[in-house]
Amino acid sequence: MNNLTGRFISFEGTEGVGKTTAINNLCQKLEDAGIEYVHTREPGGSDFAEKLRDILLSPATQINEDTELLLIFAARSDHLANVILPALKAGKWVICDRFVDSSFAYQGFGRSSDNENHAIAMQAKVKQLTADFVEKMPDLTLWLDLPVKEGIERAGKRSAADRFEQEAVDFFERVHQGYQYLAKNEPERFKRISASGTAEQVAKRIWQAVNENV
Ligand code: TMP
Protein backbone atom coordinates (compact mmCIF):
# COMPACT_ATOMS: atom_id res chain seq x y z
CA MET A 1 0.00 0.00 0.00
CA ASN A 2 2.47 2.65 -1.07
CA ASN A 3 -0.19 5.28 -1.75
CA LEU A 4 -0.50 5.80 2.00
CA THR A 5 1.46 8.97 2.58
CA GLY A 6 0.38 9.67 6.17
CA ARG A 7 2.09 8.10 9.16
CA PHE A 8 0.39 5.60 11.42
CA ILE A 9 1.22 5.48 15.15
CA SER A 10 -0.52 3.24 17.67
CA PHE A 11 -0.36 3.25 21.46
CA GLU A 12 -0.50 0.18 23.68
CA GLY A 13 -0.47 -0.61 27.38
CA THR A 14 -2.22 -2.35 30.24
CA GLU A 15 -4.85 -0.55 32.31
CA GLY A 16 -3.98 2.74 33.96
CA VAL A 17 -0.63 3.46 32.29
CA GLY A 18 -1.67 6.97 31.20
CA LYS A 19 -2.36 6.35 27.52
CA THR A 20 -5.04 9.02 27.22
CA THR A 21 -2.84 11.79 28.62
CA ALA A 22 0.14 10.63 26.57
CA ILE A 23 -1.88 10.58 23.34
CA ASN A 24 -3.38 13.99 24.02
CA ASN A 25 0.11 15.39 24.61
CA LEU A 26 1.37 13.93 21.33
CA CYS A 27 -1.64 15.31 19.43
CA GLN A 28 -0.94 18.76 20.87
CA LYS A 29 2.67 18.55 19.67
CA LEU A 30 1.53 17.50 16.17
CA GLU A 31 -0.88 20.41 16.12
CA ASP A 32 1.91 22.80 17.14
CA ALA A 33 4.07 21.35 14.36
CA GLY A 34 1.26 21.93 11.83
CA ILE A 35 0.83 18.21 11.11
CA GLU A 36 -2.70 17.11 10.19
CA TYR A 37 -3.79 14.06 12.14
CA VAL A 38 -6.76 11.90 13.08
CA HIS A 39 -7.01 10.75 16.70
CA THR A 40 -8.90 7.48 16.92
CA ARG A 41 -9.22 4.35 19.06
CA GLU A 42 -9.93 0.63 19.15
CA PRO A 43 -12.16 -1.17 19.59
CA GLY A 44 -14.18 1.56 17.87
CA GLY A 45 -13.14 4.58 15.87
CA SER A 46 -15.86 4.32 13.18
CA ASP A 47 -19.65 4.54 13.63
CA PHE A 48 -20.18 0.79 13.32
CA ALA A 49 -17.09 -0.17 15.32
CA GLU A 50 -18.19 2.07 18.19
CA LYS A 51 -21.42 0.03 18.37
CA LEU A 52 -19.33 -3.13 18.64
CA ARG A 53 -17.18 -1.42 21.29
CA ASP A 54 -20.27 -0.88 23.46
CA ILE A 55 -21.05 -4.60 23.22
CA LEU A 56 -17.45 -5.69 23.82
CA LEU A 57 -16.96 -3.51 26.89
CA SER A 58 -20.37 -4.03 28.49
CA PRO A 59 -20.13 -6.20 31.64
CA ALA A 60 -23.55 -7.62 30.61
CA THR A 61 -22.06 -9.22 27.47
CA GLN A 62 -21.41 -12.95 27.80
CA ILE A 63 -19.40 -14.30 24.87
CA ASN A 64 -16.64 -16.82 24.42
CA GLU A 65 -13.07 -15.89 23.50
CA ASP A 66 -13.48 -16.68 19.78
CA THR A 67 -16.61 -14.53 19.49
CA GLU A 68 -14.76 -11.75 21.26
CA LEU A 69 -11.79 -12.04 18.92
CA LEU A 70 -13.97 -12.05 15.79
CA LEU A 71 -16.00 -9.04 16.94
CA ILE A 72 -12.78 -7.13 17.60
CA PHE A 73 -11.53 -7.90 14.10
CA ALA A 74 -14.93 -7.04 12.59
CA ALA A 75 -14.70 -3.67 14.31
CA ARG A 76 -11.10 -3.28 13.11
CA SER A 77 -11.98 -4.03 9.51
CA ASP A 78 -14.67 -1.34 9.49
CA HIS A 79 -12.37 1.13 11.26
CA LEU A 80 -9.55 0.52 8.78
CA ALA A 81 -11.78 0.86 5.72
CA ASN A 82 -13.67 3.95 6.85
CA VAL A 83 -11.24 5.91 9.00
CA ILE A 84 -7.60 4.77 9.03
CA LEU A 85 -6.90 4.07 5.36
CA PRO A 86 -8.76 7.16 4.03
CA ALA A 87 -6.83 9.39 6.46
CA LEU A 88 -3.46 7.87 5.51
CA LYS A 89 -4.31 8.20 1.81
CA ALA A 90 -5.10 11.88 2.41
CA GLY A 91 -1.62 12.30 3.90
CA LYS A 92 -2.83 12.68 7.47
CA TRP A 93 -1.21 11.03 10.44
CA VAL A 94 -3.29 8.52 12.35
CA ILE A 95 -2.85 8.32 16.11
CA CYS A 96 -4.63 5.21 17.31
CA ASP A 97 -5.33 4.31 20.94
CA ARG A 98 -4.74 0.51 20.67
CA PHE A 99 -4.57 -1.63 17.52
CA VAL A 100 -3.67 -5.25 16.60
CA ASP A 101 -1.10 -5.61 19.38
CA SER A 102 -3.94 -5.32 21.91
CA SER A 103 -5.52 -8.38 20.29
CA PHE A 104 -2.23 -10.25 20.48
CA ALA A 105 -1.71 -9.30 24.14
CA TYR A 106 -5.31 -9.46 25.46
CA GLN A 107 -6.83 -12.25 23.36
CA GLY A 108 -3.60 -14.12 22.54
CA PHE A 109 -2.01 -13.98 26.00
CA GLY A 110 -4.67 -12.71 28.43
CA ARG A 111 -7.45 -15.07 27.38
CA SER A 112 -5.33 -18.22 27.42
CA SER A 113 -4.78 -19.12 31.03
CA ASP A 114 -5.15 -22.89 31.09
CA ASN A 115 -2.29 -24.38 29.07
CA GLU A 116 0.43 -23.61 26.58
CA ASN A 117 -1.34 -25.18 23.60
CA HIS A 118 -4.34 -22.97 24.16
CA ALA A 119 -2.08 -19.91 24.24
CA ILE A 120 -0.32 -20.96 21.04
CA ALA A 121 -3.68 -21.53 19.30
CA MET A 122 -5.07 -18.12 20.34
CA GLN A 123 -1.90 -16.33 19.24
CA ALA A 124 -2.01 -18.17 15.90
CA LYS A 125 -5.61 -17.02 15.36
CA VAL A 126 -4.65 -13.40 16.02
CA LYS A 127 -1.71 -13.66 13.62
CA GLN A 128 -3.88 -15.23 10.91
CA LEU A 129 -6.65 -12.62 11.25
CA THR A 130 -4.02 -9.90 11.14
CA ALA A 131 -2.46 -11.37 8.00
CA ASP A 132 -5.86 -11.71 6.30
CA PHE A 133 -7.64 -8.52 7.35
CA VAL A 134 -5.12 -5.87 8.34
CA GLU A 135 -3.80 -4.22 5.19
CA LYS A 136 -1.69 -1.68 7.02
CA MET A 137 0.33 -2.13 10.20
CA PRO A 138 1.39 0.91 12.24
CA ASP A 139 4.66 2.55 11.26
CA LEU A 140 5.41 2.85 14.96
CA THR A 141 3.80 1.40 18.08
CA LEU A 142 4.52 2.91 21.48
CA TRP A 143 4.00 0.58 24.42
CA LEU A 144 3.59 2.52 27.66
CA ASP A 145 5.02 0.21 30.25
CA LEU A 146 4.28 0.33 33.96
CA PRO A 147 4.21 -2.48 36.55
CA VAL A 148 0.74 -4.06 36.23
CA LYS A 149 -0.29 -3.53 39.85
CA GLU A 150 0.65 0.16 39.75
CA GLY A 151 -1.52 0.64 36.67
CA ILE A 152 -4.48 -1.20 38.18
CA GLU A 153 -4.27 1.01 41.27
CA ARG A 154 -4.35 4.10 39.08
CA ALA A 155 -7.22 2.74 36.93
CA GLY A 156 -9.18 1.71 40.02
CA LYS A 157 -9.54 5.32 41.00
CA ARG A 158 -11.51 6.03 37.81
CA SER A 159 -15.07 5.15 36.71
CA ALA A 160 -16.82 1.75 37.00
CA ALA A 161 -14.92 -1.22 35.55
CA ASP A 162 -15.76 -2.40 32.01
CA ARG A 163 -15.75 -6.08 30.94
CA PHE A 164 -11.95 -6.16 30.56
CA GLU A 165 -11.14 -4.07 33.62
CA GLN A 166 -13.08 -6.60 35.72
CA GLU A 167 -10.43 -9.25 35.00
CA ALA A 168 -8.09 -10.40 37.78
CA VAL A 169 -4.47 -9.29 38.13
CA ASP A 170 -3.08 -12.49 36.58
CA PHE A 171 -4.99 -11.71 33.35
CA PHE A 172 -3.14 -8.38 33.10
CA GLU A 173 0.16 -10.04 33.99
CA ARG A 174 -0.33 -12.30 30.96
CA VAL A 175 -1.25 -9.29 28.80
CA HIS A 176 1.96 -7.66 29.99
CA GLN A 177 3.92 -10.76 28.95
CA GLY A 178 2.33 -10.42 25.51
CA TYR A 179 3.64 -6.88 25.20
CA GLN A 180 7.08 -8.01 26.37
CA TYR A 181 7.04 -10.68 23.68
CA LEU A 182 6.23 -8.06 21.02
CA ALA A 183 8.96 -5.69 22.23
CA LYS A 184 11.45 -8.54 21.95
CA ASN A 185 10.27 -9.90 18.61
CA GLU A 186 9.32 -6.75 16.70
CA PRO A 187 11.84 -4.20 18.01
CA GLU A 188 11.80 -2.09 14.83
CA ARG A 189 8.13 -1.19 15.12
CA PHE A 190 7.14 -1.96 18.71
CA LYS A 191 8.96 0.32 21.17
CA ARG A 192 8.78 0.21 24.95
CA ILE A 193 8.35 3.58 26.62
CA SER A 194 8.61 3.80 30.40
CA ALA A 195 5.33 5.19 31.76
CA SER A 196 6.86 6.03 35.15
CA GLY A 197 7.37 9.61 36.21
CA THR A 198 5.38 12.72 35.40
CA ALA A 199 3.14 13.19 32.36
CA GLU A 200 5.70 15.70 31.03
CA GLN A 201 8.54 13.15 31.29
CA VAL A 202 6.47 10.52 29.45
CA ALA A 203 5.48 13.06 26.78
CA LYS A 204 9.15 13.90 26.25
CA ARG A 205 10.08 10.20 25.79
CA ILE A 206 7.27 9.78 23.30
CA TRP A 207 8.18 12.85 21.26
CA GLN A 208 11.78 11.63 21.09
CA ALA A 209 10.67 8.16 19.91
CA VAL A 210 8.41 9.71 17.26
CA ASN A 211 11.20 11.94 15.97
CA GLU A 212 13.69 9.07 15.87
CA ASN A 213 11.41 6.50 14.25
CA VAL A 214 8.78 8.13 12.05
P1 TMP B 1 -9.38 1.10 26.48
O2 TMP B 1 -9.68 0.82 27.90
O3 TMP B 1 -7.96 1.38 26.22
O4 TMP B 1 -10.30 2.10 25.87
O5 TMP B 1 -9.63 -0.28 25.67
C6 TMP B 1 -10.75 -1.02 25.78
C7 TMP B 1 -10.45 -2.43 26.22
O8 TMP B 1 -10.48 -3.31 25.10
C9 TMP B 1 -9.14 -2.67 26.92
O10 TMP B 1 -9.40 -3.26 28.17
C11 TMP B 1 -8.40 -3.63 26.04
C12 TMP B 1 -9.48 -4.27 25.21
N13 TMP B 1 -9.03 -4.68 23.86
C14 TMP B 1 -8.82 -6.03 23.59
O15 TMP B 1 -8.99 -6.88 24.47
N16 TMP B 1 -8.40 -6.38 22.34
C17 TMP B 1 -8.21 -5.47 21.34
O18 TMP B 1 -7.81 -5.84 20.23
C19 TMP B 1 -8.44 -4.07 21.65
C20 TMP B 1 -8.22 -3.05 20.58
C21 TMP B 1 -8.84 -3.74 22.92
- The pLDDT tens digits of the residues spanning 14-38 come to 999 999 999 999 999 999 999 999 9
Domains of the chain: 8-40+93-213 (3.40.50.300)
**What is the spatial distance between Cα 141 and Cα 154, in angstroms, rounded to a whole number?**
23
Average pLDDT over residues 120-146: 97
Is this model's pTM higher than 0.75 or not?
yes
Whose C-alpha lies nearest to ligand 1, atom 10?
164
Residue 1: pLDDT over 70: no
Tens digits of residue pLDDT in 23-79: 999 999 999 999 999 999 999 999 999 999 999 999 999 999 999 999 999 999 999
Crossing angle of helices 169-185/148-156, nearest 10°?
130
Q: 86-104 pLDDT, tens per residue?
A: 999 999 999 999 999 999 9
Of ligand 1's listed atoms, the one at least distance from the Cα of 56 is 8
As a whole number, mean pLDDT of residues 130-135 equals 98
Confidence at 214, pLDDT banded by 50, 70, 90: confident
Best residue for ligand 1 mutational test, from 98, 122, 169 (most atoms within 8 Å of Cβ): 98
Q: Name the residue with the closest Cα to ligand 1, atom 16.
A: 103
Q: Tell me, in angstroms, the distance from the centre of ligand 1 to residue 102's CA.
A: 6
pLDDT band of 12, cuts 50, 70, 90: very high
Q: Which residue type, as a one-letter code, is found at position 78?
A: D
Atom of ligand 1 nearest to the CA of 75: 20
Query: 171-212, pLDDT tens digit by residue?
Result: 999 999 999 999 999 999 999 999 999 999 999 999 999 999
State residue 161's pLDDT score.
Answer: 84
Query: 191, 183 in Cβ contact below 8 A?
Result: yes
Residues with CB under 6 A from ligand 1: 42-43, 72, 97-98, 102-103, 106-107, 164
Residue of 46, 76, 106 to mutate, ligand 1, most atoms within 8 A of C-beta: 106
C-alpha 111/C-alpha 99 separation (Å) is 17
Secondary structure in 3-state letters for the chain: CCCCCCCEEEEECCCCCCHHHHHHHHHHHHHHCCCCEEEEECCCCCHHHHHHHHHHHCCCCCCCHHHHHHHHHHHHHHHHHHHHHHHHHCCCEEEEECCHHHHHHHHHHHCCCCCHHHHHHHHHHHHHHHHHHCCCCCCEEEEEECCHHHHHHHHHCCCCCCCCCCCCHHHHHHHHHHHHHHHHHCCCCEEEEECCCCHHHHHHHHHHHHHHHC
Q: Please tell me the distance between residue 163's alpha carbon and the centre of ligand 1 in angstroms.
A: 10
